Amino acid sequence: MRIVIIGAGFGGLNAAVTLQKKLNPSQHEILIISDNPQFVFRPSLIWLPFHKHSIDRFTFPLRPTFEKMDITFIENRVQAIKPKKNYILCKNGEIIHYDFLILASGASPDWRRIKGLEGESSSVYTISSALKTRKKVEELTENEPIVIGIAQGNPNQGIAYEFLFELDAFLNKQDIKCPITFFTYEKKLFEGKGKKGTARIEELMAKKQIKWYCDVSVKKIRGGHVYLNNGKHLPYSFTHILPPYKGKEFVFSSKGFKHDHGILPVKETLQSVQWDNVFVVGDANDIKGAKTGRAAEQQGILAAENIVKQLNHEPLLSYQHEQLFLTELGNEGAMLILNKLNDNGILKGTISGIFPHLLKRAFEKYYMFKYS
């Protein structure tokens, strides 16, 4: 039995490890395909524009990691999936057959969906874009207007809040004063993270004299202005706007999948609504709620466990969304928000200060120690 995983981020990595632990390698073959030879601990990308954070601290090569686990690693780019015939077509023409497939390929920023946005906004989605953003940040001078925001269709809002407060801390350290405006399509700041989380963000916005707009969408970007649907035109010299998401290009080339902008609908079991032997995890699926590394990790594990259950003819598990957010707050440390189901009900908590910041650093070190 061959199980193929596309993508080697949080979801793909944890799916592969779970399968390796639960299946007999003499009876089952595990393959993982990625066009990136490195694992990137993406939560650490937020520090690259503002600190001399060594890239080696949060990346490691994938091939040696998978070789130690007797998992076949294929460095290639997927061109299309043929779900009716159970095979994957790669860019180099290679065909890879599968019995089960886990799509953990993530999503991509859809810069073109908003008129004028492409090429205007800084970004921290990749190492290269974060390093380009560092250069732009270091060139900021006194009184340059800054606009930071979350455009409609972006499911990972936390990045914008982290960037906002990290940038504020950087400017304060350089003794540079710039007016900052923040906007979001959320009906309130940090929506869905609990009253304490929203109150803490509002408190920091007021303290730092950051103007904000909630429940707005972006109409267009033109002539150094962000045009919002509330009639406001926000001038900027520097901008950081989280764009809508779209699925990876191979989804659009895969005729057998229904999707919304390349994002695939799934059942509660994380199976594709069309194909029971295809599981979709992380940013690639349409599950509501924030798209975080933690969510991708948990979904990757569940998808692997459900494949094992299918093989054993056992009932499948349903995904239960939990909230675990670690959001950097610049000079204010960080904020930890927990909302998790346990045997006694729901475990909730919100903590801010230096401890959550140290915890995020610890997670980074844990991943490097465990997998590299």
Q: Are residues 251 and 238 in the same domain?
A: no
Amino acid 162 reads E
For the chain, the domain total comes to: 2
How confident is the model at residue 75, as a pLDDT? 97
341 in any annotated domain: no
pLDDT tens digit sequence for 211-265: 999 999 999 999 999 999 999 999 999 999 999 999 999 999 999 999 999 999 9
How confident is the model at residue 288, as a pLDDT? 87
Residues of the chain with pLDDT > 90, as a percent, come to: 87
Q: Are residues 118 and 179 in the same domain?
A: yes
How confident is the model at residue 347, as a pLDDT? 52
290 in any annotated domain: yes
CATH number for position 120:
3.50.50.60
Q: Are residues 78 and 125 in the same domain?
A: no
Q: What is the 3-state secondary structure (H, E, C) of 41-63?
A: CHHHHHHCCCCCCCHHHCEEEHH
Q: Are residues 116 and 238 in the same domain?
A: yes
Q: Are residues 77 and 145 in the same domain?
A: no
How confident is the model at residue 325, as a pLDDT? 84
60 in any annotated domain: yes
Q: Are residues 94 and 161 in the same domain?
A: no
pLDDT tens digit sequence for 50-89: 987 889 999 999 999 999 999 999 999 999 999 999 999 9
Which of 267, 296, 311 is the last residue before a domain boundary? 311
Residues 266/285, Cβ–Cβ less than 8 Å: yes
304 in any annotated domain: yes
Domain that holds residue 124: 111-243
Q: Are residues 163 and 18 in the same domain?
A: no
Which of 91 and 342 is assigned the larger pLDDT? 91
How confident is the model at residue 34, as a pLDDT? 98
How confident is the model at residue 350, as a pLDDT? 86
Q: Are residues 81 and 137 in the same domain?
A: no
Residue 104's pLDDT band, with cuts at 50, 70 and 90, is very high
User: Residue 346: is its pLDDT beyond 60?
Assistant: no
252 in any annotated domain: yes
372 in any annotated domain: no
User: Residue 341: is its pLDDT beyond 80?
Assistant: no
Which of 311, 331, 361 is the last residue before a domain boundary? 311
User: Residue 171: is its pLDDT beyond 80?
Assistant: yes
Least confident of 157-166, 196-205, 276-285, 334-343: 334-343
Alpha helices in the chain (DSSP H): 10-22, 62-68, 127-138, 158-173, 195-207, 249-253, 293-311, 354-371
Residues 14/282, Cβ–Cβ less than 8 Å: no
Which of 272, 296, 311 is the last residue before a domain boundary? 311
| Interval 316-331 mean pLDDT | 89
Q: Are residues 143 and 90 in the same domain?
A: no
Report the candidate in 150, 148, 188 with the shortest Cα–Cα distance to residue 167.
Answer: 148
| Range among 43-52, 117-126, 286-295 rated most confident | 117-126
Residues 135/164, Cβ–Cβ less than 8 Å: no
Separation between Cα atoms, residue 127 and residue 240, nearest integer Å: 16
How confident is the model at residue 51, as a pLDDT? 83
Q: Are residues 198 and 181 in the same domain?
A: yes
How confident is the model at residue 320, as a pLDDT? 87
Query: What is this structure's pTM?
Result: 0.95
Residue 342's pLDDT band, with cuts at 50, 70 and 90, is low
